[in-house]
Amino acid sequence: MQNTLQLKAYAKINLGLDVVRKRDDGYHEVRMIMQTIKLYDKLTFRLLEEDAIRIKTNLGFLPVNEDNLVYRAVRLLKDTYGVKQGMEIDLFKCIPVAAGMAGGSTDCAAALVGASRLFQLHLSKEKLMELGVKLGADVPYCILRGTALSEGIGEKLTSLPPIPDCHIVVAKPPISVSTKFVYEHLDANGIEKHPDIDGMIRAIEEGSLSGIAERMENVLETVTIPEYPVIDKIKDCMRQQGAMNALMSGSGPTVFGIFEKEEDALRTKELIRKQNLAGQVYVVSPFNQDPAIGRR
Ligand code: ATP
């Protein structure tokens, strides 16, 4: 019987993010183009015979109790299926925290996949996505992965064709942005210019990287950029260095730029570091969906 398993939990960026309206129940209805990128946390799972959930992580400030989404994922499976065994999880984080890259949600998704396998629950991807939405709106997408349209509160997903290969510079300035703060300060029903999400879908279907780049827009920037001007500075720097376009991901503060040439991306990364605009800077590429859930 398999006792251990290692999985990668990939981050996402939003190529486009629109807020359609604020619902009466306070939730925001969104339309987002999601893209998984090759920046990932590593999770190592070990089956325990005792009824316990233990988390170890390289980031001392992260919770290791039920406040960690990994813990909650394992707990949910144990409670739902009456599993008596336990799990020890070693969480090695590389994805910036509280950054708009779904770091916690993707760890949660990987924990659902990993624990269901070691507990031998034989759950389909669809079933895991159904369970995942109970833990966070972005969790089902993090199980699906690839290029996708996300609607509703983030739980209605439509897979799209993979975007053309490119180099993506990801830069997280040293500030923390609360997703709650951003949504609370967004005048959702007063947005004058909505991103062209349908146009971006057409550009993705046509495989046009320039068509995608020219439609990159995120309505949450209207709240975050006035508060944190460094976001705009990073975007300007990326564009000056040859990015086809640059945008804030999710509720920020992470900024990403799309580059055709790897040399431009690498030079931009060094420049952002040298100018102290961001401490965590990476050059990555898109991760495209693998239809078999077995391979992560
Ligand atoms: P999103 O893009 O979904 O808004 P985010 O990147 O803004 O996510 P996360 O990195 O998921 O935010 O973390 C937000 C908070 O969630 C952190 O402050 C942290 O305390 C808590 N958290 C719980 N579990 C995790 C986890 N496994 N990894 C990171 N943060 C976690």
Residues in the chain: 296
Tokens encoding 208: 């046009």
pLDDT in tens, 186-240: 988 888 899 999 999 999 999 999 999 999 999 999 999 999 999 999 999 999 9
Task: Enumerate residues lining ligand 1, CB below 6 A.
Answer: 62-63, 67-70, 97-105, 107, 138, 179, 250-251
Judge whether 12 counts as a catalytic residue. yes
pLDDT of residue 114: 98
Separation between Cα atoms, residue 37 and residue 172, nearest integer Å: 15
pTM listed for this prediction = 0.95
Q: Can you tell me which atom of ligand 1 is nearest the CA of 104?
A: 11
Rounded to 5°, angle at Cα 248 from 247 and 250: 130
Which of 34, 110, 41, 35 has the alpha carbon at shortest distance from 285?
35
Contact (Cβ atoms closer than 8 angstroms) between residue 252 and residue 162: no
Q: Can you tell me which atom of ligand 1 is nearest the CA of 108?
A: 27
Judge whether 138 counts as a catalytic residue. yes
Report which protein residue has its CA nearest ligand 1's atom 3: 102
pLDDT of residue 179: 87
Q: Determine which one of 138, 235, 264, 269 is catalytic.
A: 138
Report which protein residue has its CA nearest ligand 1's atom 20: 62
Distance (angstroms) between ligand 1 centre and the Cα of 62 equals 9
Largest CA distance in the chain: 57
Q: What is the mean pLDDT of residues 85-92?
A: 98
What is the DSSP code (8-state) at residue 290?
Answer: P
Report which protein residue has its CA nearest ligand 1's atom 4: 100
**Tokens 């400030």 correspond to what residue?**
61
Which of 43, 32, 107, 38 has the alpha carbon at shortest distance from 69?
107
What is the DSSP code (8-state) at residue 51?
Answer: S
Tokens encoding 92: 């090695």
pLDDT of residue 188: 87
Tell me the pLDDT of the chain averaged across its residues.
95
pLDDT of residue 293: 43
Residue of 53, 97, 108, 135 with the most ligand 1 atoms within 8 Å of its CB, for mutation: 97
Report which protein residue has its CA nearest ligand 1's atom 26: 104
Distance (angstroms) between ligand 1 centre and the Cα of 39 equals 15
